Amino acid sequence: MKNKDLKLTLSEIQSIETDMLRSVIEICDAHQLTYYLVYGSALGAIRHSGPIPWDSDVDIAILYSDLNRFSALMRKELPEKYYFNFFDNDLDYPELLPRIGMRGYSSKRLHIDVFLLAGAPENVKQQKKFKNQARMLWFLFKFRNFNQRHFGKFTTLKQKALVPFVRLTLSVFSRNWIIKRYYELCEKYPLEESKLIANMNFGYGMKEFIPKTFYREGTKKEYNGFQVNVPEKYDEYLTHIYGDYMKFPKEEDRRVPEYFIITVMNTDSF
């Protein structure tokens, strides 16, 4: 019997993703591989001892130097109901960071993001260049891989007309060329020699240049009944990203859809 698209409430998504997170942490702890809850997930651990009540995903980060080991462990030891989604075995995958997903379904909405932390320059001019290069590679990779498996069905005339044009235009940048340049950028500033660490996704722009001392080995915090690792100086980290992070956003900014659609996807090869 074929799977069907799922309609999940926020609480149902959070329940699945929390179980995913528990599995990932058990594997990391068993093999002494360092990870950190970051962004909203770190904030949730500190402010709510669990997910932020209106947040629909989980964010963790690992060192770029641990990527190959992390990938191998997840593929080998994740429970069968989950899978490791990455560009090395999914030619349609549009991200330069891995995700953990639920087998049989797209990882676009229901997932754990696994961000990559790399050494970064201290000079502001070099930082801007570094960030812009990383973001350009991310843009090229994501939109040259526009596809319905990961982006959802193209239903409007605009989508149907625009997507082939975007893919054709960006196809001059080969997949392998983008990946090679991205890895070169991740390795440009050796982590052991760097005072700063950057998330190579650069979702928060220049705020992503963070002192390495904020992370260190991390510290344990409660998260829905189990222990998670957050940056060691989590107060400095969260203040750097969010400012007064203990202050709740406005009521209208905490609204979520009644349900989320999780689309079916063939993940047998992952």
- Residue 263 is predicted with a pLDDT of 92
- Residue at 70: amino acid letter: F
- Residue 130 is predicted with a pLDDT of 98
* Statement: residue 140 has pLDDT above 60: yes
- Average pLDDT score over residue span 44-48: 98
- Residue 168 is predicted with a pLDDT of 77
- Residue 157 is predicted with a pLDDT of 72
pLDDT in tens, 55-81: 999 999 999 999 999 999 999 999 999
Ranges of H-type helices in 53-174: 67-77, 124-144, 148-151, 157-170
Task: Give 44 or 160, the one with higher predicted confidence.
Answer: 44
pLDDT in tens, 218-249: 999 999 999 999 999 999 999 999 999 999 99
What integer best gives the mean pLDDT of the chain?
Answer: 94
Residue at token pair 């928060």: 204
* Statement: residue 250 has pLDDT above 60: yes
- Residue 154 is predicted with a pLDDT of 64
| Cβ partners under 8 Å of residue 55, min gap 6 | 14, 40, 41, 44
- CA 97 vs. chain centroid, Å, equals 6
- Residue 192 is predicted with a pLDDT of 95
- Please state, in angstroms and rounded to a whole number, the distance separating the CA atoms of residues 191 and 215: 12
- Please state, in angstroms and rounded to a whole number, the distance separating the CA atoms of residues 153 and 135: 25
pLDDT in tens, 145-202: 877 777 666 667 776 677 777 777 888 899 999 999 999 999 999 999 999 999 999 9
- Please state, in angstroms and rounded to a whole number, the distance separating the CA atoms of residues 193 and 167: 39
- Residue 36 is predicted with a pLDDT of 98
- Residue 159 is predicted with a pLDDT of 67
| Cβ partners under 8 Å of residue 183, min gap 6 | none
| Cβ partners under 8 Å of residue 141, min gap 6 | 87, 94, 95, 96, 175, 178, 179, 182
The reported pTM is 0.94
The pLDDT confidence band at residue 256, using thresholds 50, 70 and 90, is: very high
Instruction: Lowest mean pLDDT of 114-128, 135-149, 158-172, name the range.
Output: 158-172
Per-residue DSSP letter, 190: -
